[in-house]
């Protein structure tokens, strides 16, 4: 059996798990993972990403389903997804994206009470197959560095409802 060491994970394993909604907390406090806060949407980096640049786009409203958005809110939410993709293309130059929305725990929603899209950049030859074959995830860049690379571009985004 081969061993892959990941000593930085012990901090998460031993830590008290967060109470409440992580998206609502990101709105109410300074957060090193929040890239964008608009009038009705926000973009945060996934604290436990599949790969560098894994973003979460959510409405500001604490809602759990698409049926709870009006047409304008839906449009701004999808525009925020589109702008996030533009930033990732400019900064990280991925070859493609996985974009998804998990509705309900059975569908894989880790935070089912607050609707959010996942945007996962992908590159030819990336290492995501390791997750399937070896239950290993490779993140080549520190999350703080990814944040610092993306944040100036998100600071330029202006969306209106």
> What is the set of active-site residues?
116
Burial, 108: exposed, middle or buried (Cβ in 10 Å; 0-12, 13-18, 19+)?
Answer: exposed
Instruction: Of 154, 93, 85, 152, give the one whose Cα is nearest residue 118.
Output: 85
Q: How far is CA 156 from CA 36, 84, 126, 153, in A?
A: 9, 11, 29, 5
Calculate the dihedral angle through the C-alpha atoms of 91, 56, 147, 151, rounding to the nearest 10 degrees: 70
The residues, any chain, with a CB within 8 Å of residue 12's CB and separated by 6 or more, are 48
Tokens of 75: 């449009």
- The alpha carbon of 78 is separated from its chain's Cα centroid by a whole number of angstroms, namely 14
């Amino acid at each position: 059996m081969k061993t892959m060491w990941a000593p930085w994970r012990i901090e998460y394993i031993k830590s008290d798990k967060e109470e409440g909604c992580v998206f609502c907390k990101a709105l109410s406090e300074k957060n090193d993972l929040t890239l964008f806060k608009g009038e009705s949407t926000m973009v945060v980096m996934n604290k436990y990403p599949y790969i560098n640049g894994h973003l979460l786009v959510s409405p500001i409203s604490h809602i759990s389903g698409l049926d709870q958005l009006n047409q304008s809110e839906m449009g701004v939410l999808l525009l925020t997804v589109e702008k996030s993709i533009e930033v990732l293309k400019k900064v990280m130059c991925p070859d493609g994206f996985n974009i998804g929305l998990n509705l309900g725990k059975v569908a894989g929603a880790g935070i089912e009470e607050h609707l959010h899209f996942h945007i996962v950049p992908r590159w030819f030859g990336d290492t995501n197959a390791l997750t399937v074959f070896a239950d290993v995830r490779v993140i080549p860049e520190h999350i703080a560095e990814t944040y610092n690379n993306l944040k100036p571009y998100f600071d330029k985004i202006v969306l209106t409802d």
